[in-house]
Chain A
Amino acid sequence: MTATASQSPAPANVAAVPGVPGMTRREFLYYIWAASMAILTAQTGGATVWFAYPRFKAGEFGGIFEIDVSQIPAPDSEPKAYDAGRFWLVNMGDGNANDPRLQQYVGGQTYTTQTPGVKALYKICVHLGCIYKWVSTNNRFECPCHGSKYLSSGVRIGGPARRNLDVFVITVLDANGNEIGQTGLTDDGEGRPVNITGAAKIIVNTGSRKNGAFNDVPGLG
């Protein structure tokens, strides 16, 4: 039966190439079959990736950290590490906002982020995920992997990172537990320091992270 079919003349609507027989029904059905196999393979591949993708419920990461104002470092003193929440708590005073290295590297750019206040810096380097550390002698954060350097305010001053450090959202509460401030966004889109005047405690929410602003000013710190 099929042998007869393959020997039957090509349908008239198939363009005739000299010496090459036109498409037979048998050949056509093979293409259809091959196409269906290709689609099946793609579906299986997609399902495999879907299957292999790790599953997490919303809220599985991050936590709420209540910190009494007495625990917040004094303005312009060294950052304080909170390992459990994976963040550095920094209190920037005027000294920080006017750091000469900031002027040197930022040059003409406007950094509205450099207002005094408190920030919770995510401990992970925004370059490739290593843990940067505070180097007291050099008065800056340094990443041991590829050498990104940041001021205590989180502003990148050197190395291959291309943005400032990420921050967690801080909510400021007064003695009665009323909210008197929260991390807002600057014009650059990064987290602004919060003012803690009159505050009794702050709440750091590590489930809510704001990326640092783009910053590719050259320099090796």
Chain B
Amino acid sequence: MAAFDNLPEFLKPHLPILDDVKKKGLVPALLYKVNEAVERLTAGLDIEDIRSVLRGDPAPRPNPRVKPHADGFWFHMRPTYYHTLTSGLYPSFRLGWLSVYFFTFETITGLILMLFYTPSPLVAYENMLNILSNVPFGRLMRDLHKIGAEMMVAVVLLHMIRTLITGNYKKPRQFTWATGVILLLVTLFLSFSGYLLPWDQLSLWAVTIGASMAGAAPVIGDFADTMLRGAPGAFNHNGLLRWYLAHVLLLPVIGFIFTGVHYYKVIIQGHSLPPEAEPVGEDTAKRVPTDQRVYFMPDVLTRELLYVSLVTFLMVFACVTFYHAPLEPHADYLITPLHTTAPWYFLFLQGMLKLGDKVLWGVVVPGIITNVLLLLPYMEVGPSRRYGDRRIGLSVIMASIAVMAVLSYMGTPWYGVSSSPDQEVVAELLPQTHPGPVRTVAWAELEAGTYDSTDYESAALTPALKELLHEYEVAMEHARSNSTCLAADPPNCLTTGKGYMIIEDWQEGLKRITFRIIWADGLNNTEPCLTGAKFEFCQTAYLHRDSDYGHGE
């Protein structure tokens, strides 16, 4: 330190590590410092402690492994140990943990997507095309965000059903249950609010129905409708911005707060034991005997990490092999696509809405369902959580799930919204909500000509044409024997119907495909597809060589 000898005392540098190096030698001094840093970062475990955990040594006394739970921020939220009966898959299936994981996963993938997204009807759809085609890993991120959202809804629903079945929502956990119901609603609305952002047909019409349902509310209906759409009666740039802000800010903040409250109550009251493991009417979750403790570190922690690693792997695997987030055509205020449906978790609502009055089925009944869920712990008040003692409760739960399944079926295009048989046949081949068989066909195999759907076995056809015609004929055959139609309105049934597919080379690299269905008197129509022709239905699609409905595959 000779260089500093002439400096005044208060400017002389003091580096304690140098003293240590002098005393112990370079390597031991550095190792000591590293060890100290590890202990700071883990809030109490040094390298030897960590190795002892990983080796599976019994915990020494005093136990250093509780220090991160007592002194550190992240681990203070987690219990130091679990009961052996709750550390495995049963009874929780770790669905709560998985929900939190998906919340984080969606935040991360969402933030990445936000870099390439502007919430404006002018460019939102273009942003999607850019993400799909130009941004490296853009499509993977969008697919992961979408599949993560779907799985998050599924996991949160399963978490709720599991809690219902094992009866944990009973006293003293009523409040935890209520915050869980709020988190379920937040999850549903988070997922649904993301629907509008791509500004495609699916977006516009799903959310139009959602806003119209709010608009059906008595007294405040019109007000709520305008607040949600940004304009009276129609979505505009303002409406998109509102839904975007709800999706990226308002709902995540509410979700974050209630996740905190929910999990705090879980920790304070302890993870509920399986119903059969404790005396009826007692709650022994917090009293874990010493010999039945499974320490968070390393057992529970590694299981949790393994679990989410596996789930993440499955999601990535799905997205690189078969799953792709759908993107429908650009939003169009003037066309609602045939067969447009709500997301699967709102299909029950769409089914209910087909039943009748929108105030009853769109406002009153969903309100009752939400309130019944919130107040459920005060309805099933029996002290026992054992399956054998809850026959009525469990039967009601199972019956409700069955009703939901039936209502969800009623929400699909197969119930109550079928159009005329001719249009339904063409919708099989040229659907308005997804690319479908014709648009994804091998373009070069579409040879010009007029084909009859019954000739699908002809040897002269290319394989792609054979397959298309076969699908066409299956749909035609289905329509010919449509019993609902035969019972209601015979002249329009396709009993005698014939299906044609006309392929024309329209321009360089562009083919025009016409589906022509004729029946009854229409069989005598000589000139195809004249405007106003009776007993004849035609629909045309143009396919470009590079239109790429298969999204690059």
Contacts and interface: CB of A to CB of B under 8 A. Distances in A.
A110 to B, nearest CB: 23
B358 A138 contact: no
B340 A138 contact: no
Contact of B335 (A129, A131, A216): A131
Contacts of B238: 54
Interface in A110-157: 123-124, 127-133, 135-138, 142-147
Contacts of B216: 128
Interface residues of A, number: 33
Interface in B416-434: 416-417, 419-423
A129 B212 contact: yes
Interface string B186-223: 00000000000000000001001101110110000001
A86 B354 CA distance: 24
A144 B340 contact: yes
Most central of B209, B337, B417, B422 by chain A CB within 10 Å: B417
Contacts of B66: none
A128 B340 CA distance: 13
Contacts of B472: none
A181 interface: no
A1 interface: no
Contacts, number: 104
Given A135-B423, A159-B416, A127 B537 contact: no
B299 to A, nearest CB: 47
B362 interface: yes
Top 8 nearest A-B pairs (CB, nearest first) are A137-B420, A128-B212, A129-B212, A147-B416, A147-B417, A130-B336, A131-B336, A146-B354
A53 interface: yes
Interface of B: 205, 208-209, 211-213, 215-216, 223, 226-227, 230-233, 238, 333-340, 350, 353-358, 361-362, 416-417, 419-423, 489, 492, 532, 537
Contact of B336 (A49, A52, A83, A144): A144
Contact of B209 (A49, A83, A145, A162): A145
Contacts of A52: 227
Contact of B337 (A124, A127, A144, A159): A144
A28 interface: no
Given A128-B209, A145-B205, A146-B354, A54 B230 contact: yes
Contacts of A216: 356-357
Contacts of B334: 83, 86, 123, 131
A128 B231 contact: no
23 contacts: A53-B223, A54-B227, A54-B230, A54-B232, A54-B238, A86-B334, A127-B358, A128-B208, A129-B215, A133-B336, A138-B420, A142-B417, A143-B417, A144-B338, A144-B417, A145-B336, A146-B350, A160-B354, A160-B358, A162-B356, A162-B358, A216-B356, A216-B357
Nearest to B210: A128
A221 to B, nearest CB: 9
Contacts of B226: 53-54
A172 B422 CA distance: 38
Contacts of B211: 129
Contacts of B213: 128
Given A146-B416, A147-B417, A159-B416, A128 B353 contact: yes
A128 B416 contact: no
Given A53-B226, A137-B422, A162-B358, A130 B492 contact: no
